[in-house]
Amino acid sequence: MKLMLGLMWLLHWLPLPLLGRFGDAVGSLLFMALRSRRHIALTNLRLCMPELTEEQRVDIARRHFQAYSRSVWERAVLWWAPEARLKRLITIDPGGVIPVAAMTEKPTILLCPHFVCLDVAGAAIAMEASASSMYVTQKNAAFDRVLRAGRARFKPVKLFTRQDGIKPILRALRDKLPYFMLPDMDFGEKDAEFVPFFGIQAATLTATARIAATTGAQVMPVIATFLPDYRGWRVKFYPVWDNYPGDDMVAATRRMNQFIEERVREAPAEYFWTHKRFKTRPNGEPSLYSKQ
């Protein structure tokens, strides 16, 4: 891992078009080599986009592996490049300005689904304002140190683990520290409801709705994607959701999934298809990921 981190540090000096193409090449190799992950991605795409041909789904899966690999290598730029370079590479939409005042005037949940460039959104905000987020401790200690340092190199950030529970999150929100919420992974049935995602019942955490209801927080979606031609990244802030969550936490969670689904259709190759999003099944249904 130390060798890989050293290579990443060296590569961050490259112009982004060269680094991005290097990431694409590695991703193409991984698409061929990682058969189990390829199977998961293609299973997800068959479930979520049955209207496409198999050739089209394979193309999206291949481009996803390229995008994911590219995002990992480009993370070196986020960790080590000068702030001035990052600001040249990140386009803020709309208006070119991060809405710091809007996200700090009251408790704010920054809804950030699992697109491959999600770390770019964190870096863009961290250059302007402090924030907080859930953090999964990495198995490799060296990588964990670099990742934590990279995410905290600008404004102070607070990183919580799942073991910390919900109280630190509520405290941060009440202190008007924006909280990054990544709610679109399958963590089992605990604190989740089965709601549709691309028409498939998916175990979905209701935490976004419940935390918003408890703290009075507004929900402001933010999604980072690649700019064309390896020119950098776009970070888009969406309008705060009106009347969210309301009185029905399940309906609010369904609304969240629908929003994420719409964004996935806009950049399908950049969504995290290699996660078993439908791993947990209702009523003892069989696994959707079993190989035929």
Measured CA angle at 177 (ends 171, 178), to 5 deg: 115
Tokens for 229?
């031609």
Among the listed residues 286, 289, 5, the one whose alpha carbon sits nearest the alpha carbon of residue 144: 5
Tell me 243's DSSP state. Answer: T
Outline where DSSP puts E strands in the chain.
Answer: 90-93, 108-111, 131-134, 157-160, 179-181, 192-197, 200-205, 218-226, 233-237
pLDDT tens-digit readout, 19-32? 999 999 999 999 99
Question: Are 225 and 115 within 8 A, CB to CB?
Answer: yes
User: Range with the lowest mean pLDDT among 19-28, 108-117, 246-255, 278-287?
Assistant: 278-287
Residue 292 has pLDDT above 80, yes or no: no
Q: What is the mean pLDDT of the chain?
A: 95
pLDDT tens-digit readout, 19-77? 999 999 999 999 999 999 999 999 999 999 999 999 999 999 999 999 999 999 999 99
Q: Which residue has the higher pLDDT, 273 or 149?
A: 273
**Cα–Cα distance measured from residue 194 to residue 254, given in angstroms and rounded to the nearest whole number:** 9
pLDDT tens-digit readout, 126-162? 999 999 998 888 888 888 888 888 888 999 889 888 7
| pLDDT more than 90, % of the chain | 84
How far is residue 42 from each of residues 38, 47, 114, measured CA to CA in Å? 6, 9, 17
**Cα–Cα distance measured from residue 152 to residue 160, given in angstroms and rounded to the nearest whole number:** 13
Residue 155, H or E segment: none
